[in-house]
Structure 1
Amino acid sequence: MSKSIAIVGGGPGGLTLARVLRLHGVDAVVYEREPSRAARGQGGMLDLHVDSGQRALREAGLEAEFHAIARREGQDMRLLDHTGALLLQEDTPDDAPLARPEVDRADLRDVLLDSLPEDAVVWGRAFRNATPRPEGGHTLHFADGSTAVCDLLVGADGANSRVRPLVTDARPFHYGVNYVEMAIPDIDRAHPELATVVGRGTYWVMGPGQSLSAQRNGDGRVRLYLGFHTPADWFATCGVPFDDPARARPALAELFAGWAPDVTALIRACDDTVIQRPLTMLPVGLTWPATPGVTLIGDAAHLMPPVGEGVNMAMLDALELALALAADPGDPAAAVARHEKEMFERTAPVAEMCLRITEMMTAPDGAQAMLRFFTGR
């Protein structure tokens, strides 16, 4: 394929797309807004599923690298209600298959970056907009004043995609859930008693209108996600001084007064990481008419509630788009149109499932609803 491909966004989806295209002899350039691969932390853990995220890595020739970073024990889970009653405990045997192992986001990104030549990713290019070219394709405009041209533009730039307006007017909407992300570094040394509480994987406590999940990372850090079933303006109206972590921690712990003591102990043990995350999603079943020279993958195309499917769908989107383009080098527009149709059909039921799970989690009996979900009762 002689046509040039530009990928906006250097997350798992964009990097997987670039990697698989290059395996098939198709060059692509990834434009990433961060100034370097080490510019910031990449967040917590991801569980990669056999038939989606893991499949993408296998077909990208990175299965051995995946096994080197996968944490089998990260599949462990403990589900409790807000009184501290243990409802479900799943411990992963040492010889268990890697059905949904956890990987650090940073480790996954490093694996994908290391599989690409250095010139495949252009750092420090914050995409602003694109204008159609008379001869086809687009001119890309970046925040630093630079430009680039391409025949096919792929938006892999996440929830707040700047590429998305080229194909649809749809925008993410808040669906009544807000998260606060916190962290306990080096929990085994600093708080061994809490390390025992959390275990090796995910510790999940659910109560009326709120939840806490604690997830162990490969570097010994535990990330906490406090969930609040509240409107979009909650961060501004709740009275928690988010700009002052030393005061925010006790204020957040107070919101869990009356819950099991381990919950408030975990919150008080956190460091100064206090990140506000209002949760949004795109309409389930979003589609758009085929648009010459541009397409979307991942959260840019089908942002879902975060219940473990987003990164898997993004990497599968990337794999299937790359294979479609490689199979039809003479007609990339037709390849993109076929891929989009298949992506719409594949991801709509997944997004619907994610929304149903979120509705269960936010129900008055959320803990029991999730117990029934996990046990099939």
Structure 2
Amino acid sequence: MTIAIVGAGMGGLALARVLHVNGIEAVVYERDAARGARRQGGMLDIHSGQRALREAGLLERFLAIARREGQDMRLLEPDGTLLLQEDTPEDAPMARPEIDRTDLRTLLLDSLPEGTVRWGHAFDHAEDGVVHFANGSSARYDLLVGADGANSRVRSLLTDARPAHLGQNAVELAIPDIDRTHPDLAAMVGRGNYWVFGDGKSLAAQRNGDGCVRIGVSFYNTGEDWFTTNGIRFDDPPAVRARLIELLAGWHPRITALIAAASDDTVAPRPLATLPVGLTWPSNPTVTLVGDAAHLMPPVGEGANMALLDGAVLGAALAAHRGDFGAAVAEYEKEMFERTGKAARMSADMQELLMSPDASRRLLEFFQPS
């Protein structure tokens, strides 16, 4: 019985690992040409996903490389007023440690047998138990698992649902080796997360384990055409940085200095989208979905955790119902729909808070309830 997993993200790799631990082999087909073909993004806050890593036999290795200090947080208003600063004690529990996405992906990849991941295999279509790839190759499957992210092409085999724009557009930047190149800004950001909210905008700076600080500048209640209408041309990074600083007029210059310090090759647009909250589909014994392919949510800290849990839960179900993919898929989807539905509703509520005019004060009340 052949299990084909499309996508070597967190959900797909967690599934492959849990299957391997249970003596069930699978093949992961990934469109990237190689492991390091592209940047994997910033830090991940792993909390509920630790259960999945335990079931995958990887929790101790995860805790050895995760960053306790990544739980530090600073919350400010645009004029530079510090509303909240939380510094994590050295003996604090690893309740929500941060880890570089690349490091977590490497941990999962290295835990799989050689050849489990087939690089350079972009999904094209599937029919009659055969999956076809853009490189002209094909493979038979008994169970096809779509772990191919927000713009999943496997999803169409189960539902017509498509991601809808969230009303938030972000620009991603980064300052490499910040301790050496901009020690004053490094001290300002601290060891974890640095958040500024106000006027329907935000700047989030996040310390990464590789010495880089990743920055996201977001504009809320904006449409899909926002990048075009605001004249931001991403073929001219210095002009993008200048325009962002202009759009944050009135913000403290120490905050906008983070934008000015970003390097040219790290500037990228990020229009954000979500799938409908509570999305379900009729169970199909030959196809299912994990991660963002199944439940794309606002980026408020739940997506990676849900993807890891998806992989672990589906892997355990397949191990418990060996050879009966229909029973395993139905059991997994029942649990997944309930669990991720709750997470999606919570994420939508947090997104609504972030998009409010007084987001900084509401966040302060959230973190320090009276």
- Whether contact under 8 Å (1:257, 1:264) holds in the other structure is no
Map of 1:347 onto structure 2: 340
Question: How far apart are residue 65 of structure 1 and its match?
Answer: 1.5
- How far off its partner does 1:366 sit? 0.8
After superposition, residues 129-208 of structure 1 pair within 5 angstroms as: 129-131=125-127, 133=128, 138-208=129-199
Residue type at the aligned position of 2:314 = L
Query: In the alignment, which residue of structure 2 is the partner of 1:220?
Result: 211
Letter in structure 2 aligned against 1:176: G
* TM-score normalised by length of structure 2: 0.98
1:97 paired residue number = 93
CA deviations on 1:13-56 (whole Å, 9 max, x unpaired) are 1001000001101110000000111212211100100xx31111
Check conservation: 1:56, 1:319, Cα contact below 8 A.
yes
Number of aligned residue pairs: 368
Q: CA deviation at 1:375?
A: 1.5
- Distance in 2 separating the partners of 1:115 and 1:241: 41
**Partner Cα distance (1:98, 1:84) in 2:** 30
Correspondence 1:23 to 2:21: yes
Q: Secondary structure at the match of 2:115?
A: helix
Task: Give the secondary-structure state (helix, strand or coil) at the position aligned to 1:247.
Answer: helix
Letter in 2 for 1:326: A
Query: Are residue 290 (structure 1) and residue 286 (structure 2) matched?
Result: no
Q: Tell me, yes or no, if structure 1 residue 6 matches structure 2 residue 14.
A: no
Aligned to 1:245: 237
Q: Is the 8 A contact 1:256 1:263 kept in 2?
A: no
Q: CA deviation at 1:300?
A: 0.3
2:284/2:329 contact within 8 Å kept: no
Letter of the 1:58 partner, please give it.
R
Matched residues in 2 for 1:292 and 1:130: separation? 15
Verify the 8 A CA contact 1:79 1:203 in the aligned structure 2.
yes
Q: Distance in 1 between matches of 2:63 and 2:215?
A: 26
User: Normalization by structure 1: what TM-score?
Assistant: 0.96
- Residue 70 in 1 paired to residue 66 in 2? yes
User: Quick one: distance in 2 between partners of 1:78 and 1:299?
Assistant: 28
Q: List aligned pairs for 1:190-339, cutoff 5 A.
A: 190-229=181-220, 230-272=222-264, 273-339=266-332
Partner SS for 1:291: coil
Matched, 1:88 2:84: yes
Share of identical aligned residues, percent? 65
Residue identity matched to 2:114 = E
Please provide the CA RMSD for this pair: 0.9
1 CA distance for matches of 2:363 and 2:287? 39
Shift of 1:310: 0.1
Asked if 1 retains the 8 angstrom alpha-carbon contact of 2:285 and 2:327, the reply is: no
- Return the offset for 1:68: 2.1
Shift of 1:371: 1.0
**Shift, 1:316, TM fit:** 0.3
More divergent stretch after superposition (139-148 vs 61-70): 61-70
Q: 1:239-262 deviations in whole A, cap 9, x for unaligned?
A: 122210021111111111101122
Deviation at 1:317, TM superposition (A): 0.7
Distance (whole Å) between structure 2 residues aligned to residue 69 and residue 28 of structure 1: 27
User: How big is the shift at 1:58?
Assistant: 1.2
Whole-angstrom distance in 1 between the partners of 2:369 and 2:313: 31
Within-5 A mapping of 1:105-144: 105-131=101-127, 133=128, 138-144=129-135
SS in 1 for 2:69: helix
Helix, strand or coil for the counterpart of 2:280?
coil
CA distance in 1 between counterparts of 2:86 and 2:235 reads 37
Instruction: Say if 1:297 and 1:314, in contact at 8 Å, map to a contact too.
Output: yes
- State the secondary structure of the residue aligned to 2:194: strand
CA distance in 2, matches of 1:165, 1:82: 43
* Matching residue's letter, 1:205: V
CA offset at residue 287 of structure 1?
Answer: 0.3
How far apart in 1 are the matches of 2:350 and 2:252? 24
Q: Distance in 1 between matches of 2:131 and 2:324?
A: 22
Whole-angstrom CA distance in 1 between matches of 2:318 and 2:237: 48
